A and B are shown apart, each in its own frame.
Chain A
Amino acid sequence: EPEVTQTPSHQVTQMGQEVILRCVPISNHLYFYWYRQILGQKVEFLVSFYNNEISEKSEIFDDQFSVERPDGSNFTLKIRSTKLEDSAMYFCASSGHGGYQPQHFGDGTRLSIL
């Protein structure tokens, strides 16, 4: 069964450094998403992306965040200058098009900011 894959599974970064989280969505999906889950809290929406543009973003997705589809298979989330509070699980998801299509999630990248 097709799946969303995310790399790396765990990323450790010094505060203030830039980090890029990578995702390979399901191949025929056209909508891509990033969510995060701080330990012990809810899964929270960050951003959705379609046709090389942001479709929707939350208040969390401020200027330190950016997303990109650098090629036909990858989807990335960049955090420009990481803060301690950016430590969380980051989940990528993708969905098809044509009416409502549910979102399918990867297994996440655990980001630890030191």
Chain B
Amino acid sequence: QKEVEQDPGPLSVPEGAIVSLNCTYSNSAFQYFMWYRQYSRKGPELLMYTYSSGNKEDGRFTAQVDKSSKYISLFIRDSQPSDSATYLCAMSLKNQAGTALIFGKGTTLSVSS
């Protein structure tokens, strides 16, 4: 059973749309949840990280965690062409540094102007 599942897309939306990106996971022991953005030929860039169930907002981005459903989401409001990238969810089993991140496969997003 795959630990972290993420629909690879591609997802295509017009500029200004609200985007919803999602991951499900099987291991209820995951404690920290992260979203990374990866542009072509670049490394993963941290967008947000969160520990508890609920919402966390940062500008146009909102991360949502539902531990009871083992489901996390990233919402992007007022999407821009510059948001076109691959979005990776990642999770950590332990509440400490040095711990491996388990990644989803990534969802490719294309925002057209």
Chain A residues with a Cβ under 8 A of chain B: 4, 6, 30-31, 33, 35, 41-45, 48-50, 55-56, 58, 91, 95-97, 99-108
Can you sample 17 A-B contacts with CB below 8 Å? A30-B97, A42-B105, A43-B101, A45-B100, A49-B98, A56-B99, A91-B43, A95-B98, A96-B97, A97-B97, A100-B92, A100-B95, A100-B96, A101-B97, A102-B34, A105-B43, A107-B42
Chain B residues with a Cβ under 8 A of chain A: 4, 32, 34, 36, 41-46, 49, 51, 88, 90, 92, 95-106
Whole-angstrom CA separation of A100 from B49 in the bound complex: 10
Q: How many A-B Cβ pairs are below 8 Å?
A: 64
Is the beta-carbon distance between B51 and A105 smaller than 8 angstroms?
Answer: no
Given A41-B105, A42-B105, A43-B88, A102–B46 Cβ distance below 8 Å?
Answer: yes
Chain A residues contacting B49 (CB-CB under 8 Å) are: 102
A28 to chain B, nearest CB (A): 13
Is the beta-carbon distance between B43 and A106 smaller than 8 angstroms?
Answer: yes
Chain A residues contacting B105 (CB-CB under 8 Å) are: 41-42
